[in-house]
Amino acid sequence: MIIKKPPMGWNSWNTFGGEVCEKVIRDTADAMVELGYKNAGYEYVVIDDWWSERKRGADGKIAVNKEKFPSGMKALSDYIHSKGLKFGMYSCAGTMTCGGFPASFEHEYEDAQMFADWGVDYLKYDFCYKPMHAVGKLLYNKMSMALKATGRDILFSACNWGADDVETWIRSTGAHVYRSTGDIFDHFESVKFIAQSQFDKINYSATGCYNDMDMLICGMYGKGLVAKGGCTDAEYKTHFAMWCLMQSPLMIGGDITNMNDYCRNLLQNKGLIAINQDEDGRPPMMVNWNKDRPVFFKHMANGEYVLALFNLSDEDGMVGCEFFDIGVSADHGFDFVDAISGEKIGVVSENLYETIPAHDCRVYRGKFVRV
């Protein structure tokens, strides 16, 4: 299985945590279709931790919690597939999941087959309770091989939180996605910390194995498991724009059955999603090294370019660059549109500087032209 674009979908953890259940998953699948998320490209519905009983069953398999999932995982998988969506599950490389439930250490092949039998299309594989002398690279390679042995195409999401210099070796294990950070929380300082932690690792993410900066918090507004005060609309916009630019998987963590219009439209923004899903999969170039006011430049598959300006600082300020620093001579420039609003900006040459409010951003897309 080869993935050419970062996966898009929804994960239960950020909002529901241990309250995840069959109704939540079915309602979310319905909403993904009815509210336009599927048409925008979101296709995976992923159950995170807390879906099983505390002990394996008498047959040695992980036992599904029947109170939470009375129909069983195969029936739920069939329901999600009937919607034209894909079904995702969660396990862990350690002896227990992060919530203390049975995990897949030394059970990789039997658990992989169980997931395949259920019709699973995506596996998030966490890193809690890993024995001290067990090597992460080996554990992820083992589960990757186990998934392939089932004969089913299952997207493998390696969630080791950026430990062990994961970006330097994870592609070799066959994983399709790798978590490069700790957990995200619903406040801007968490968004900023995660984004800045990845600026020097941009070029490890590419077609076939994408850097996962954790799930999206857009639309949570201080509600849910990872709530820490929430964000403003502008902060959610900056968060989503940065994740799109950095080619992170777009896994919604908010409750899409109860999302306001602003964040629903943001999460379905065609201009930003097109940047994330560009078929070339080229990472952006960091034009400057001001981590609070970074500028990025990205080549697109159709010959266009993206210039993105972020103000991650707590004060309004000037953000921009000289075009010489991205290889443009004075007799050339860009015919830009605003990638978020679609507004035509026109031809810009030599440089671009703007006063951007704190925690906000500007993203432009356009063609290279002679002036």
Label residue 57 left, alpha or beta by phi (over 0 means left) and psi (-120 to 50 means alpha).
Answer: beta
30-50 per-residue burial string, b: 16 or more CB within 10 A, e: under 16: ebbeebebbebbbbbbbbbbb
126 classed as catalytic: yes
HSE of 5, CA atoms in CB hemisphere, 13 A: 17
183 classed as catalytic: yes
Q: Which of 117, 153, 164, 183 is catalytic?
A: 183
| β-pair type (295-299, 305-310) | antiparallel
Q: C-alpha 36: how far from its chain's center? A: 19
Residue 219 near residue 263, CB atoms below 8 Å: yes
For residue 81, what is the enclosing H or E element? helix 73-82
Q: Which of 126, 212, 278, 360 is catalytic?
A: 126
Query: Within 10 A of 128 (CB to CB), how many other CB atoms are there?
Result: 18
Write out the two tokens for 178.
């790798």
For residue 202, what is the enclosing H or E element? none
Query: Within 10 A of 174 (CB to CB), how many other CB atoms are there?
Result: 18
* CA distances to 26, 33, 45, 251, 276 from 85, in Å: 11, 9, 7, 14, 20
Residue 24 near residue 65, CB atoms below 8 Å: no
Instruction: Give the residue numbers annotated as catalytic, written as ranges.
Output: 126, 183
